Structure 1
Amino acid sequence: MAAVTGAGRRAGSDPAARLVARLRQAIGDASRVRTGPSERQRHGRDLTVHPPRDPDVVVYPESTAEVRAVLQVAAAERVPVVPFGAGSSLEGHVIPVRGGISLDLTRMDAVLAVDPVGRTVRVQPGLTRSRLNAVLAREGLFFPVDPGADATLGGMAATNASGTNALRYGAMKHQVLGLEVVLPGGAVLRTGTLARRGCPATRSPGAATAGEADEAAPTGAGAAGGHAARRGAPGRSPRRGASVGALPRWDATALFIGSEGTLGVITELELRVYPVPEAVVAARVGFPDLAAAARAAVAIARRCPSATRIELLDERTLVAVNAYRGTAYPARPTLFLEWSGMPAAVAADVERGRAACLDCGGMDFTVERDPAGRARLWDARHHAGLAVTAVAPGRKKLSTDVCVPLSQLPAAIRHARATVDALGFAAGIVAHAGDGNFHVLFAVDPDDPDELRRARQASAAIVRDALARGGTCTGEHGVGLGKRQYLPDEHGPEAVAVMAALKARLDPLGIMNPGKVLP
């Protein structure tokens, strides 16, 4: 257990045993502090080619107070802490590269309050989006952010996740009104407000302001890590929230959205929710090639105000989806579409969308109006990423996550396909085409160094092309381990230095998810 035996640890006969004993005392329940091999292995890997590394111990807190107690122990013992939710991340966020504590938040999964009038909900971080929507459905409401995996809401905020609804509703940063965060050393910070235009955040007993939290932070050597900007909602602005207007304070909520567990542990979230639309219509339409499908996606985004989802799957991905989900979609580039809103507006936009597709060579425009048909369509789309490796046993996923200005999408996808083909990969391409975010899905042999090298070479070329077009290396998956090297080119060395300084100030011991985000 290298993480608890290195230089600088306090003297003791067995640092690992002391750590476990202190954690069990802090939690008050030995059964929720686990060191078994299978438990540690499950918390030491993600769904991709990133090398696994087991934590030394897995802890299951059930309250903010218990999270605080764990972080106090971690600071005292100089041991890393890595927050863990559904384990569905794609950039190594949950892998404890320096060992230490895997903090599994899945037992903190309650819906704490629903306000149907104010259209807000307060939740714990271990709640999944599907379970939240099951509760909200009783009130005629829903939460729109929908990454492919059934991720936890804390993890979604930590990576600024988005998904198929980003065209209309944006990413997590547009939906989070406030947070409760436990900082390294145990200070509890509350951010945000329920007022739509924002005002200084109110505090509950025991919560710290930003200044108090700074004073309460432990002292010691800093480490790399931090917060990076992410994909927004191109072309459409969600309702204004806590960060809008002339505020008499910094927007501390935004600091933690996308921070990937490097600045603290999210223990509560206040979220926007929305009325279920009166009318929803979906459709799928095939195209002769990827370029035509991408052009149609851009046209629909421009012409159809009620468009909610514009998703592109290439023929390679659809072959995998058909095999994995038992569907029978034609193996050609296809757009999966959805419109929502008032019935008349939706009906008009469906016809505008149909015309845009026909103008670009679309064929077999098939409309799905009933809920069951729409559900089948989106089930196939949400399983596209899993399908690529499920039909290739023994292989692991390596996924790009670039996002470009919408006008650049057709050219960027064309470049990506040419790059992949030139290096001899049959990788699939899927896109949240309505806002310029697309993924190249490589299924690679993790034990083949040459194949890994070529896949990473292709990924790097796709990222460089996206940056040259004014895009980003990460539209929704986050930076984690896999994209740290691109931040200086994307944001500039000065911005990266500011991120590192902020990380060092909030986490001077460098215990929060070390080795992630910053180069």
Structure 2
Amino acid sequence: MSLQAAARIKRALTYCVNSWTCRTYCMKKEFVDGLRTVVGESNISTAMAVREQHGRDESMHSCRPPDVVVWPQNVDQVSKMAEMCYRNSVPIVPFGTGTGLEGGVSAIMGGVCFNMTRMDRIMNLNADDFHVTVEPGVTRKALNNYLRDSGLWFPVDPGADASLCGMAATSASGTNAVRYGTMRENVINLEVVLPDGRILHTAGKDRRFRKTAAGYNLTSMFVGSEGTLGLITKASLRLHGIPEAMVAAVCAFPSVQAAVDSTVQILQCGVPIARIEFLDDVMIGACNKFNGLSYPVLPTLFLEFHGTENGLKEQVQQTEEITQMNGGSDFTWAKDQEERNKLWTARHNAWYAALALRPGCRGYSTDVCVPISKLPEIIVETKKDLIESRLTGPIAGHVGDGNFHCIMVMNLADKDEVSRVKDFTNRLARRALAMNGTCTGEHGIGLGKRKLLEEEVGEVGIATMKQIKDTLDPKNLMNPGKVV
């Protein structure tokens, strides 16, 4: 045998071993053709540009492209292709809008990316029952546009126009969670395609009750599972009535401590506030520059009140008294919808405003969450740590439920800076854990927080999660390498 022939065989064997399995690679064209038969020529791609687009999200994790991307049109297609993947031991990676922040869509073992965006029907709206069912391609903005004339809305608002089933998969929350809860509280039922192609309805087919005591809570098990247990193909969601009146306000403070103390006191007094967001002085400066605003460059609270006209007066009066006791400024009001949209657009653009502080750099957002009584302590300590570590990390947070973000902006080519960021984020997470908090309030575990999850839930907790994973996904095909 010539040296050239031997080298060709070695390369082929190496590729074969690094692909799904030797058997799978040898039948790869046949397998892809089988997928094509299910979804049609226009709904499948092996082009490198398309695969790379589906191998990354908004995080700093490097791109890991899948081998194939498919766009199913209905649950039957999802089921058939999942069964094919299971039979051939091919990994499956769900994909929504790609707005995640923990590398959850990275295909670290290759496989098939299921892009669910072409399944975008809104079904079964029942205004009397405050309920709607959506397919995975429906985003939160699309749903609220659809609901505009019904008197109802879906309030879970993570900032990005994420897909609702993707939001369920990561247990997303956002600015309204302090009053309306997270996805976990607002998902009633899920249709899930399991790794072997079986279709599960987590609360029973077509059921939409407000509460139940029937068996294990399968719905909550899949909310926050990050695509590691199955593919969510429908979500039945709880809707809320649009408040009679809404008003927003901005209030600046002389110190971080004063702003966060106000937050804790407002909640302790039982004010039913809808949104209460904290931005430190660095973040306010970035938002001013990015959005063309002129807020004082001081620690600031953004607040929003929902209710009746009379109810708002009482809420606002109580809140103003508390903020002024802590040295807060007079409220700057945003009363009509256009003004409120402008205010919250500035808040939702905080990620891009932070990145604009250092053009060409990448961002990573922490998302620890602690009991609200610990908020003043952890934010003050975090600000001190940022300064001592010589890092750019403006802070913005959903402080009404104890959750805040340091948006770390770094030069990935500077290994020393990247190392300091990693050390800082680990210290921050462990500081939250030491205060009986969590390493992730809303972004999920994904690729980067698996060690922290072990520290958070303990040996028995991780073992139990792995048992669930092994039972539902014995071949470890569903989004492998994530969470556990």
Scaled by the length of structure 1, the TM-score of the pair is 0.88
Alignment of 1:118 onto 2:84: no
Q: Deviations over 1:170-201 (max 9, x none)?
A: 11010000000000010000122xxxxxxxx3
Contact 1:3-1:79 within 8 A present in 2 as well: no
The 8 Å contact of residues 415 and 462 in structure 1, kept in 2 or not, is answered as no
Asked if residue 68 in structure 1 is aligned to residue 37 in structure 2, the reply is no
Question: Does 2:17 align with 1:17?
Answer: no
Say whether residues 1:488 and 2:460 are aligned partners.
no
- Contact 2:79–2:198 under 8 Å retained in 1: yes
Report what 2:362 is aligned to. Answer: 396
The reply to whether residue 379 of structure 1 matches residue 390 of structure 2 is: no
Partner amino acid, structure 2, of 1:498: T
Displacement after TM superposition at 1:499 (Å): 0.3
> Higher mean Cα deviation, 313-322 or 114-123?
313-322
Q: Is the 8 A contact 1:3 1:98 kept in 2?
A: no
Change (3 A) 1:7 1:111: closer
* Cα separation, partners in 2 of 1:242 and 1:386, compared to 1, 3 Å: farther
Name the counterpart of 1:217: none
1:143 and 2:154 matched: yes
Given that residues 404 and 471 in structure 1 are in contact (C-alpha distance below 8 angstroms), is that contact kept between their aligned partners in structure 2?
Answer: yes
Aligned-partner Cα distance in 1 for 2:25–2:173: 47
Aligned residues of 1:430 and 1:439 also touching (Cα < 8 A): yes
| TM-fit CA distance, 1:371 | 1.0
Native 8 Å contact 1:288 1:362 kept in 2: yes
Calculate the TM-score normalised by the size of structure 2. Answer: 0.94
Which secondary structure does the structure 2 equivalent of 1:75 belong to?
helix
Amino acid at match of 1:24: R
Coordinate RMSD, CA, aligned = 1.8
Residue 280 of structure 1 aligns to a residue whose secondary structure is strand
Q: Structure 1's 19 and 325: CA in aligned 2 closer, same or farther, altered over 3 A?
A: farther
Q: Deviations over 1:326-367 (max 9, x none)?
A: 222221111000110122111111011111111111114212
What amino acid maps onto 1:318 in structure 2?
A: I
Matched, 1:255 2:221: yes
**Structure 1 position 373, deviation (Å):** 1.0
Which residue pairs with 2:242 in the alignment? 276
Q: Does 1:429 find its partner at 2:395?
A: yes
Once residues 376 and 12 of structure 1 are traced to their aligned partners in structure 2, the CA distance between those partners, rounded to angstroms, is 52
In the alignment, structure 1 residue 169 sits paired with structure 2 residue 180: yes
Letter in 2 for 1:387: A
Structure 1 residue 254 displacement after superposition: 0.9
Give the deviation of 1:5 after TM superposition. Answer: 5.2
Q: 1:39 aligns with which of 50, 61, 67?
A: 50
Q: Which residue of 2 aligns with 1:211?
A: none
With over 3 angstroms needed to count, the CA separation of the structure-2 counterparts of 1:44 and 1:250, relative to structure 1, is same
Structure with the larger RCO, 1 or 2 (CA within 8 Å, 6+ apart)? 1
Distance 1:5 1:132, change over 3 A: farther
Which of 415, 425, 437 is 2:381 aligned to?
415
Residue 453 of structure 1 corresponds to which residue in structure 2? 419
* Post-superposition offset of 1:405: 0.3
Q: Which amino acid aligns with 1:150?
A: D
Q: Does the Cα contact within 8 Å between 2:246 and 2:304 map onto a contact in 1?
A: yes
1:463 has 2:429 as partner: yes
1:297 corresponds to which of 263, 274, 287:
263
AA at the equivalent of 2:104? H
| 2-structure distance, mates of 1:266, 1:190 | 10
CA distance in 1, matches of 2:480, 2:153: 35
Partner of 2:320: 354
Counterpart residue identity of residue 149, structure 1: A
CA contact (8 A) 1:47 1:396 kept: no
In 2, Cα distance between the equivalents of 1:314 and 1:3? 50
Same amino acid, percent of matched pairs: 42
For residues 412-442 of structure 1, give each alpha carbon's deviation from its aligned partner in whole angstroms, at most 9, with x where no partner exists. 1011111111110121001101110001110
Task: Tell me the residue number matched to 1:78.
Answer: 89
Q: Show the counterpart of 1:226.
A: none
Contact 2:16-2:25 at 8 Å conserved across structures? no
Asked whether the equivalents of residues 91 and 482 of structure 1 are also in contact (C-alpha less than 8 Å), the reply is yes
Letter of the aligned partner of 1:66 in structure 2?
Q
- Quick one: distance in 2 between partners of 1:382 and 1:184? 35
Q: Distance in 2 between matches of 1:87 and 1:411?
A: 34
Residues in 2 aligned to 1:143 and 1:11: alpha-carbon distance in whole angstroms: 47
Of 332, 338, 346, the residue aligned with 1:366 is 332
Residue aligning to 1:338: 304
Quote the Cα distance in structure 1 between the aligned partners of 2:138 and 2:78: 16
What amino acid maps onto 1:164 in structure 2? Answer: T
- SS at the partner of 1:338? strand
Secondary structure of the 2:274 match is strand
User: Which 5+ residue runs of structure 2 have no aligned equivalent?
Assistant: 1-11
Structure 1: gaps (5+ residues): 193-200, 205-239
CA distance in 2, matches of 1:260, 1:331: 37
User: Counterpart of 2:162 in structure 1: which amino acid?
Assistant: A
Counterpart of 2:466 in structure 1 is 500
Residue 242 of structure 1: aligned partner: 211
Aligned to 1:109: 120
Residue matched to 2:3 = none
- Aligned residue for 2:442, secondary structure, equals coil
Indicate the residue corresponding to 2:273 in structure 1. Answer: 307
Say if 1:297 and 1:433, in contact at 8 Å, map to a contact too.
yes
Which letter does structure 2 place at the counterpart of 1:342?
T
| Cα offsets for 1:19-40 (capped at 9, x unmatched) | 321210222x112110112111
Cα distance in structure 2, aligned partners of 1:378 and 1:294:
19
Change (3 A) 1:490 1:349: same
Once residues 438 and 344 of structure 1 are traced to their aligned partners in structure 2, the CA distance between those partners, rounded to angstroms, is 31
Given the alignment of the two structures, is residue 178 of structure 1 paired with residue 144 of structure 2, yes or no? no
Q: Partner letter of residue 41 of structure 1?
A: E
TM-aligned CA deviation for residue 202 of structure 1: 4.2
1:257 is aligned with what amino acid? V
Q: Which amino acid aligns with 1:273?
A: L
1:515 maps onto 2:474 in alignment:
no
1:241 Cα deviation after fit: 3.5
Q: 1:420 to 1:140 in 2, by over 3 A?
A: same
Moved more, 341-350 or 156-165: 341-350
> Once the 2 structures are TM-superposed, how far is the Cα of residue 449 of structure 1 from its aligned partner?
1.9
Deviation at 1:322, TM superposition (A): 2.1
Asked if the contact 2:251–2:330 (Cα under 8 Å) also holds between the matched residues in 1, the reply is: yes
